[in-house]
Structure 1
Amino acid sequence: MIRLLVVDDSALMRRLIGGIFEAESDFVVEIARNGAEAMAKLHVFEPDVITLDIHMPEMDGLACLDRIMIERPCPVVMVSQRTESGAAETMQALELGAVDFVPKPEGAVSLDIDSLAPRLIEKVRAAAQARIRPTLRLAERVRAKVGRQGARPALRRGSAPTRAEGTRAPLRPLGSDGLVLVGTSTGGPQALDALLTPLPADFPWPILVAQHMPSSFTGALARRLDKACALQVVEVSAPTSLAAGTVYVARGDADMIVRRQRGVLIASAAPAASTFRWHPSVDRLVQSAMTVVPPERLVGILMTGMGNDGAATLTELHRNGGYVIAEAEESAIVWGMPGELVKSGGADAVVPLTRIAACLVEAFGCR
C-alpha cells in the first residue's frame, strides 16, 4: 500500500484529492490542513508520498517542504497555481527537493478535478517510487562534487561513464551546426540545473531541451536556469535561430521542432501532436532534428522521467551514428525514460548525473 499525505488548507481540495486516491485500491490517505499539521503527522503517519499546497496559513508549502527534506526526506508533489508567481514558487519548490508538481484546476474546481485525476494519480505513483536524497539538494551536491573534482575529470572506464559494448570512441565535435538534444520529465528541473550550470558560456553547440511541463511553467524554468547558468537560457515560443552558447527550452503544452531555413537552423514551437503522449515531446524534437542535421552532428541526452518518451528516437539516432547518453539509474530520480533507452540498446554511455556535464566539457575541449 502507498501511504499518501494530502496537505491543503482548502477543505474542498482536501476532499477532492483525498477522494481520488481513496478510490484507488492501493492507497492509504491521511489529511493535513496546513504545513504545521503536516509536520506533526510526518513522523507518525510516515507517508510514502505527499501532495503539498503552497499557499497555507501557519506554515506555507515552501517552508513545510524545506523542513520535510531536512527531517524526513519524502517524495513531494506540489499543487501549484498557474499564475506567474505560482510558477516561480513551483520552481523554488523543485529546487528545494520536490519531485514533481500538478497545476491546480481552474474555474469550477469540482468539475476540472475529473480531468486532472488520471495525471495526478500517474504523477503520485511515479513520485512514490522516486529516489530522494537527504538534506543536501541535488544541485548543491552536484556543485559541491564538481568543485571538489575539478571541471574536467578524465573519461576513463571505471571512474567514468559506462559505455555500451561495441560503441564508438568518445564524442568529438564535427562542424559548427551540431545540436545537443536533451529530454527529461519527472525530476527534470533539478537534473537540468545539474547538467547546465557547469557548462561554459562558450559551449560550441546549441542545446535544445524538451522538459515535460505545462506552458505556464516553462518560462519560469527558463528564467531560473538563465540566472544560474553561464549559458543563455531562453524559452522557444516563436521561430528562433539557433546559436552556440544558448539553451533553448521548449514551450510547454506544445512541441519544439527543428528546421533549416536558408542554411540556418531554426527552432519553433509547434502545436502538440496527438500522436505523442507527452509534451513537449522528446521523440518529436529528435525526429525533426534528424531530418535537417546529420546524425553524427547530434548528441542526445535522456535524463530522469517516467515513461519512455525519447527512447525510440534516440535509439534510432544511436544506430545511425549519433552519440547518445542515458542518465544512470543510480542518480535518476525516476529511471523510466533513460531506463527504456538503455534497455533498447540505444545508449553509447550510461552516466551518473554528476558526470554528464564533465563528459560534454571534455568531449568538446571546453575550458
Structure 2
Amino acid sequence: MIRLLIVDDSALMRKLLGQIFDNEGDFEIEFARDGEEALKHVQSFRPDVVTLDIQMPGMDGLACLDQIMLEYPCPVVMVSSLTEEGAEETLAALNIGAVDYVAKPGGAISLGIDELAPSVVEKVRMAAAVRIRRSRRLAERVRMAHSALRLTSPPSSDQSSSNRGPARNFRPTGLVLIGASTGGPPALDAVLTELPADFPFPVIVAQHMPSTFTGPFSRRLDNICALTVTEVTQQTKLEAGHIYIAKGDTDIVISSRAGTLVATVAPSDPSYRWHPSVDRMVRSAMKHVPPADLVGVLMTGMGNDGAQSMAHLRAQGGYTIAESEETAVVWGMPGELVRLRGASEIRRVDEIGTSLRDLVR
C-alpha cells in the first residue's frame, strides 16, 4: 500500500481527491486541513507521498513544504492554480523541494476532477517512488552538488563519461537542445547558471510545463543566468548568448528563414504525448543543422520524451549528454536514452554545465 497524505483547506477538494485514490485500491489515505495539521500527520503517519495545496489559511503550502523538507523529507506533489500567481508559487515550491505539481481544474472543481484524475494518479505514483535525501532540500542539494560530490565521489565510470575527448570542432551555427520534465526547474537552474555570457551557441529548452508557467519560469532564469533568457512566443531568431524557453502547451520547432535559424511556436502535435515536445524540437533541428553541430542534453523527467530523437542524433554524428541516475529526480527520459545506447556521456547535474562549456569552447 502507498501511504498518501492529502492536504487541502477545501473539504470538497479533500473528498474528491480521496475518492480518486480510494478507487485505485492500493492507497492508504489520511487528510489534513492546513499546514500545521499536515506537519503533525507527516510526523505520525509517515506518508510515502503528500499532495499539498499551496494557498491555505494560517501556514500556507510553501511554509509547510519548507518544514517538511527540513524535518521529515518525503516526496511532495503541489496542487496549484494555473494563474500567473499560482505559477510563481509553484516554481518556488519546486525549488524548495517539491517533486512535481498538478493544476487544479478551472471552474467547478466537481466537474473538472475527472479530467484531473489520470494525471494526479500518475504523478503521485511516480512521486511515491522518488527517494528524497534527508540531508538537504532538493534545491539546496542541486546547488551544493558540485562541491559536495567532487569531494566525496570517485570519478564516474558511466558510459563514455571517463573517456570524453577534447572539444569538438563545431561550426558557429551549432545549437544546444535541452529537454527536461519532472524535477527539471531546479536542475535547469544548476546547468544554465554555469554557462558564461560568451557561450557560443544558442540554447533551446523544452521543459514540460503549462503555458502559464513558462513565462514566469523564463523571467526567473533570466534573473540568475549570465545568458539572456526569453520565452519563445513568436518566430524568434536564434542568437549566441541567449537561452530560449519553449512556450508551454505548444511545441517549439527549429527552422531556417533566409539562411538564419529561427525558433517557431507550433500548436502541440497530438502524435507527441508531452509538450513542449523534446522529440519534435530535436527532429526539427536536425532538418536544418548538421547533426555534427548539435548537442542534445536529456535531463530528469518521467516518460521517454526526447530519448529516441537524441539516440538518432547521436547515431547521425551528434553529441548527447544524459543526466545520471544519481542526481535525476526521475530517471525516465535520460534513463531511456542510456538504454537506447544514445548517450555520448552520462553526467551528474552538477557536471553538465561544465561539460557543455568544455565541449564547445
Same fold per superposition (TM over 0.5): yes
Amino acid at match of 1:4: L
- Partner of 2:204 in structure 1? 208
How far did 1:147 drift?
5.8
- Corresponding residue to 1:234 among 208, 230, 234: 230
Q: Do the aligned partners of 2:161 and 2:345 also contact (CA within 8 Å) in 1?
A: no
Alignment of 1:286-325 (within 5 A): 286-325=282-321
Q: Partners in 2 of 1:357 and 1:334 — Cα distance?
A: 19
- Corresponding residue to 2:352 among 348, 352, 356: 356
How far did 1:163 drift?
3.6
Does 2:98 match 1:93? no
Q: Partners in 1 of 2:183 and 2:143 — Cα distance?
A: 17
How far did 1:318 drift?
0.5
Does 2:59 match 1:56? no
Q: Do the aligned partners of 1:91 and 1:224 also contact (CA within 8 Å) in 2?
A: no
- Corresponding residue to 1:248 among 238, 244, 251: 244
Amino acid at match of 1:29: I
**SS across alignment from 1:107:** coil
Alignment of 1:118-133 (within 5 A): 118-133=118-133
**Runs of 4+ residues over 4 Å off in structure 1:** 147-150, 165-168
Amino acid at match of 2:110: S
- Corresponding residue to 1:182 among 173, 178, 195: 178
How far did 1:243 drift?
0.8
Amino acid at match of 2:306: G
Q: Partners in 1 of 2:169 and 2:78 — Cα distance?
A: 40
Q: Do the aligned partners of 2:4 and 2:29 also contact (CA within 8 Å) in 1?
A: yes
Q: Partners in 1 of 2:180 and 2:222 — Cα distance?
A: 18
Q: Deviations over 1:151-206 (max 9, x none)?
A: xx9xxxx6257343999745525111111111111001011011111111111101
Q: Partners in 2 of 1:274 and 1:170 — Cα distance?
A: 40
Cα RMSD of the aligned pairs, angstroms, is 1.9
Q: Do the aligned partners of 1:173 and 1:363 also contact (CA within 8 Å) in 2?
A: no
Gaps of 5+ in 2: none
**SS across alignment from 1:110:** helix
- Partner of 1:117 in structure 2? 117
Structure 1 pair 70/166, CA: closer, same or farther in 2 (3 Å)?
A: closer
Q: Partners in 2 of 1:231 and 1:54 — Cα distance?
A: 31
**Identity of counterpart residues, as a percentage?**
57
- Partner of 2:14 in structure 1? 14
Structure 1 pair 248/46, CA: closer, same or farther in 2 (3 Å)?
A: same
* TM-score (norm. length: structure 1): 0.94
Amino acid at match of 2:264: S
How far did 1:25 drift?
1.7
Q: Deviations over 1:47-94 (max 9, x none)?
A: 011110011112100000000000011111111111111111111001
Q: Partners in 2 of 1:171 and 1:323 — Cα distance?
A: 11
Q: Partners in 1 of 2:52 and 2:34 — Cα distance?
A: 9
Amino acid at match of 2:290: P
Structure 1 pair 172/161, CA: closer, same or farther in 2 (3 Å)?
A: farther
Amino acid at match of 2:53: D
Structure 1 pair 106/166, CA: closer, same or farther in 2 (3 Å)?
A: same
Q: Deviations over 1:188-231 (max 9, x none)?
A: 10110111111111111011111111111111111111111111
**SS across alignment from 1:292:** coil
Structure 1 pair 161/139, CA: closer, same or farther in 2 (3 Å)?
A: farther
Structure 1 pair 361/148, CA: closer, same or farther in 2 (3 Å)?
A: farther
Q: Do the aligned partners of 1:7 and 1:51 also contact (CA within 8 Å) in 2?
A: yes
Alignment of 1:96-107 (within 5 A): 96-107=96-107
Gaps of 5+ in 1: none
Q: Do the aligned partners of 1:54 and 1:80 also contact (CA within 8 Å) in 2?
A: yes
**SS across alignment from 1:324:** strand
**SS across alignment from 1:162:** coil
Q: Partners in 1 of 2:114 and 2:339 — Cα distance?
A: 35
- Partner of 2:192 in structure 1? 196
Aligned length: 359
Q: Do the aligned partners of 1:131 and 1:332 also contact (CA within 8 Å) in 2?
A: no
Amino acid at match of 1:234: T
Structure 1 pair 145/51, CA: closer, same or farther in 2 (3 Å)?
A: closer
224-233 vs 318-327, greater mean Cα deviation: 224-233
* TM-score (norm. length: structure 2): 0.95
How far did 1:269 drift?
1.0
Structure 1 pair 337/145, CA: closer, same or farther in 2 (3 Å)?
A: closer
Q: Partners in 1 of 2:167 and 2:10 — Cα distance?
A: 52
